[in-house]
């Protein structure tokens, strides 16, 4: 008999960091549609509450949980508020100060710190905080959103790419630590997204997306909604035998080898 490993996350609790906007918002909406109760984490209360309202308007379950994931005390309070969760998506990765495009030779340690704090230390901190509950339940899914900047490397993004590459290395190692306890650990790597500041620039210059998407076999840049189908699979029962991997969702820009 084939066990039921369907691609659903019904009745699972999921926390998605930085899900008040962008990719995280799309993940929160799609995970709620797949049946999860979603905790929408953000440091911005208005954004988190507005995403929860969108989800609740569809008759689905979501609650805001406000915390700066770089702040250990705030993460502790977040875990006390949500209780143990089945699914953790480490999505927050663009600091409030943005990802400044600059030559490394012109950068200073104060430029590096927010990128490394959010994309590495916060991933470690939030994962460490939720892991004991997953171990106790014997089931867990940890997914971290990374970037092709950390796989291929991109001009003017060396430090951001380094922090993302570190998060991938962490995920691969952690998969070995917790695989026998029913917990999978994976990453999804994104290319450039038609979203946020880039979407504003594209709106102002309609030729820009065509130019930027030349190296993309899919012929366009990513959109937040492109990420959720694979994320839901990786976080479902159906993802039980998929761990320690980094999957690109990047329109074919930089293939996984």
Ligand X SMILES: NC(=O)c1ccc[n+]([C@@H]2O[C@H](COP(=O)([O-])OP(=O)(O)OC[C@H]3O[C@@H](n4cnc5c(N)ncnc54)[C@H](O)[C@@H]3O)[C@@H](O)[C@H]2O)c1
Residue positions annotated with a catalytic role: 160
Cα–Cα distance measured from residue 118 to residue 42, given in angstroms and rounded to the nearest whole number: 13
- The label of the residue with tokens 């630590």 reads 177
In the region spanning residues 11 to 40, those forming contacts with ligand X, defined by CB under 6 A, are 17-18, 20-24
Q: How far is the CB of 117 from ligand X (least distance, A)?
A: 8
Q: Interface with ligand X includes 145 (CB under 6 A)?
A: yes
Closer Cβ to ligand X, 113 or 237, answer by number:
113
Q: How far is the CB of 155 from ligand X (least distance, A)?
A: 14
Tell which one of 9, 36, 55, 70 touches ligand X (CB under 6 A): 70
Q: How far is the CB of 246 from ligand X (least distance, A)?
A: 12
Q: What are phi and psi of 169, to 5 degrees?
A: -60, -40
Q: Which residues pair with 246 in a beta bridge?
A: 187
Closer Cβ to ligand X, 180 or 211, answer by number:
211
Q: Interface with ligand X includes 193 (CB under 6 A)?
A: yes
Cα–Cα distance measured from residue 29 to residue 6, given in angstroms and rounded to the nearest whole number: 19
Task: Confirm if 193 and 146 have CB atoms less than 8 A apart.
Answer: no
Q: Which residues pair with 86 in a beta bridge?
A: none
Closer Cβ to ligand X, 68 or 226, answer by number:
68
Cα–Cα distance measured from residue 70 to residue 72, given in angstroms and rounded to the nearest whole number: 6
Q: Interface with ligand X includes 202 (CB under 6 A)?
A: no
Q: Interface with ligand X includes 143 (CB under 6 A)?
A: no
List, as one string, the DSSP characters of 177-202: HHGGGTEEEEEEEE--BSSHHHHHHH
Closer Cβ to ligand X, 60 or 145, answer by number:
145
The HSE-up count of residue 61 (CA atoms within 13 Å, CB side) is 13
Residues lying near ligand X in the complex (CB under 6 A) are found at: 17-18, 20-24, 41-44, 47, 68-70, 91-96, 118, 145, 147, 190, 192-193, 195-196, 198
């Amino acid at each position: 008999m084939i066990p039921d490993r369907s691609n659903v996350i019904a009745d699972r609790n999921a926390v998605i960091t930085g899900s008040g906007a962008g990719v995280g918002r799309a993940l929160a909406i799609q995970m709620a549609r797949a049946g999860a109760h979603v905790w929408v984490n953000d440091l911005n209360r208005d954004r988190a509450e507005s995403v929860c309202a969108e989800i609740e308007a569809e008759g689905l379950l979501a609650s805001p949980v406000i915390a700066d994931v770089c702040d250990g005390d705030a993460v502790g309070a977040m875990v006390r508020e949500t209780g143990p969760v089945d699914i953790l998506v480490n999505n927050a990765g663009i600091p409030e100060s943005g990802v400044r495009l600059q030559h490394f030779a012109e950068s200073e340690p104060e430029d590096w710190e927010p990128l490394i704090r959010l994309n590495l230390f916060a991933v470690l901190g939030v994962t460490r905080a939720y892991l004991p509950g997953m171990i106790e339940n014997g089931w867990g899914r940890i997914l971290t959103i990374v970037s092709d900047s950390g796989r291929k490397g991109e001009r003017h993004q060396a430090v951001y790419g380094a922090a993302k590459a570190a998060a991938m290395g962490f995920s691969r190692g952690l998969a070995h630590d917790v695989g026998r306890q029913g917990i999978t650990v994976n990453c999804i790597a994104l290319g450039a997204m038609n979203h946020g500041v880039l979407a504003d620039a594209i709106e102002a210059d309609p030729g820009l997306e065509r130019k930027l998407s030349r190296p993309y076999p899919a012929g366009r840049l990513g959109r937040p909604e492109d990420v959720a189908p694979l994320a839901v699979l990786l976080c479902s029962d159906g993802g039980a035998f998929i761990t320690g991997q980094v999957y690109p969702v990047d329109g074919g820009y930089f293939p996984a080898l």
